[in-house]
Structure 1
């Protein structure tokens, strides 16, 4: 296959994956994350895990918006030539800022997922420590800490690009800075550190924690007579396991994608159809992961589903026939406030 044919095939592939599918998934995901925030902000969900899940919904929205701006719209423009103005005028000015923001939001999303999985592990496997460690106040502090760590870790990303005006047609283009063009920086920070800290490390850690939660849940299922509290905790664990399991599946293509980035040069990646497909799939799965959580909560979280239905009824003026909605038998999050604000 010649070079022009490969470029066209890559453009068509990314148009379908990022431009069409990615845009649709992002739109649904943005709506879903807004609805998640509305439901989880309800007073019935005043809990430590709801703090993490609200924070996750916010950063996932940032990821989706960034992916739309940095991947979906350019993919549409490259294939259809319908958004030339965006690619030539808007994208070069925006990308030096949207790109580091997207990576910061993605880092935050990964670390928040790790945080609430650790919390669920403590509640399920170390219950005597849960009342002290799993509080709303601590969750807020940890969420702020995660955001700060994500911001600090991605500070170098803000210095990889610069804007430059061309002399021929007075257009603005983005160019690599000395830092962004530094080979040592690219290999150590952008490839190896990113692969270990953001991709493989959290993946393996969450895989182990999720396996421990599944084993504990399996043992608990042997006891058929469960108290109301046990049933609540059971449902929480199921939801968290499914959310984390979905995260692991969506992150799986990123592992070989980043490993290939460490082995092959950018030119070699652009010339390999298989590596292009892998990279395209990897980013599409990142988009999907940031869009899917609302649907997981609605399908598997019984209390989430009931509160969501109540809010829909209220918005559309539908009378609530059953007034026993204040007693929910199962909830998709931890309720260990311990007097925390």
Structure 2
């Protein structure tokens, strides 16, 4: 009988340590207590722990109110206890908690107020870029096919991914009410997920294949006439678009509107519970294919292109004349270097912050009762994610300005498209004979 009681007391002590009510050091002091004493300690300590759980529930709800549903790294529903009775003022999380770290508050406001500006500028800029690259003179160049498609893809990404994400995430901070749940319906959720993945992937890989096309044109000039043609560009665009549409057709089947917090109060567009591991693998591969792999390809090919251009520029100093066709090709190459470098600079901080958030979320999910201790760090990282994600969105609106800064032909065609150059035609023609030749022989890279 004594052996049985000792076994029960030992089991009770071990249980208290396992559930996190006592540390391992405290358990050593419980070995001499009987079951009744342990139960009494359990009751007192569990009351304190219940208060901690209530606070944790509030934190979890607050995180859910402001996190991106497409990147729910932690299944917080496993840690939320809907059977705990808490004060309503504790449990009801708000969009902005006065106890939140400053970086999270800054990140929220940075995201809320800067994102609509990015959307507006991106819609106007990409529309103008699309008009320029599809004009009669510009579409004769194979590079225009890639850049026109990139402008269209960025437009659709802004409309179908960035704008809906901003509307549902920013609404609690703008109106002070609950976030808009227009995405959290079957059908709408599936379409949102599908197009968000398709056009994000397409925007990145259009830059990659444009980089490959310019690499061939600059570093392998003997294959330029064979590979750098409008026909090949059209086939490349169609291939990458078809690949994107087909590969991500499976993503809606892995998504839906489900409970994200136990108790049935919070339903969001997220991964299907029975396919969470598959969704995790899918999203991990997507993250690698839209960040790490493009980084490697773009950096390596750009390095080779820059090296070749330096050698080419030395030869140009000896040759006094450069044909307009070659100047346009050089200009497209400079545009490529600018937008690809901008893509890496704007994407890398978000990729690093996302990886940090993912690693911490995995650590927290494997240590349930350390969630409360690590939640402040998680909130700080969430603030960094919001800031870097907003910076990442600049990718979808900045290309128009990069084209304008680095492309004389783009600026000229833009003015023509806007009707600005019509009244200057006679004046420009009278000056072109005396000034055009001297400027064209300076080998301008713009």
TM-score normalised by structure 2 residue count: 0.64
Q: Deviations over 1:287-308 (max 9, x none)?
A: 1001111111111100000111
State how far apart, in whole Å, the 1-side matches of 2:406 and 2:342 are: 13
Within 5 Å, give how 1:78-227 maps onto structure 2. 78-81=172-175, 84=178, 87-93=179-185, 94-163=188-257, 173-174=267-268, 176=270, 178=272, 182-191=275-284, 193-223=285-315, 224=317, 225=319, 227=322
Compared CA separation, residues 11 and 318, structure 1 to 2 (3 A): farther
State how far apart, in whole Å, the 2-side matches of 1:162 and 1:20 are: 29
Compared CA separation, residues 292 and 235, structure 1 to 2 (3 A): same
| Aligned equivalent of 2:126 | 33
Within 5 Å, give how 1:159-308 maps onto structure 2. 159-163=253-257, 173-174=267-268, 176=270, 178=272, 182-191=275-284, 193-223=285-315, 224=317, 225=319, 227-228=322-323, 229-265=325-361, 271=376, 272-308=378-414
Q: Deviations over 1:270-300 (max 9, x none)?
A: 7513321332133213310011111111111
Report deviation, 1:13.
3.3
Asked if 2 retains the 8 angstrom alpha-carbon contact of 1:96 and 1:162, the reply is yes
| Aligned equivalent of 1:336 | none
| Aligned equivalent of 2:77 | none
| Aligned equivalent of 1:321 | 426
Compared CA separation, residues 237 and 79, structure 1 to 2 (3 A): same
- Match of 2:251, SS state, is helix
- Name which structure has the greater RCO, CA cutoff 8 Å, separation 6+: 1
Identify the range of structure 1 (270-279 vs 200-209) with the bigger mean alpha-carbon deviation. 270-279
Structure 1 vs Structure 2 CA RMSD: 3.3
Report deviation, 1:194.
2.2
Asked if 1 retains the 8 angstrom alpha-carbon contact of 2:160 and 2:192, the reply is yes
Report deviation, 1:67.
3.9
Structure 1: segments with no counterpart, 5+ residues: 166-170, 334-341
Count of equivalent residues: 323
- Match of 2:394, SS state, is helix
Compared CA separation, residues 152 and 59, structure 1 to 2 (3 A): same
Structure 2: segments with no counterpart, 5+ residues: 1-54, 60-96, 260-264, 365-370
Compared CA separation, residues 307 and 221, structure 1 to 2 (3 A): same
Q: Deviations over 1:68-121 (max 9, x none)?
A: 43332233312132675xx34423234442233112101001111101100000
| Aligned equivalent of 2:48 | none
Bigger radius of gyration = 2
State how far apart, in whole Å, the 1-side matches of 2:358 and 2:107 are: 22
Matched, 1:61 2:166: no
State how far apart, in whole Å, the 2-side matches of 1:17 and 1:36 are: 27
Report deviation, 1:230.
4.0
State how far apart, in whole Å, the 1-side matches of 2:165 and 2:121 are: 17
- Match of 1:162, SS state, is strand
Q: Deviations over 1:118-167 (max 9, x none)?
A: 000000000110101111111111101101111222223212332479xx
Asked if 1 retains the 8 angstrom alpha-carbon contact of 2:160 and 2:195, the reply is yes
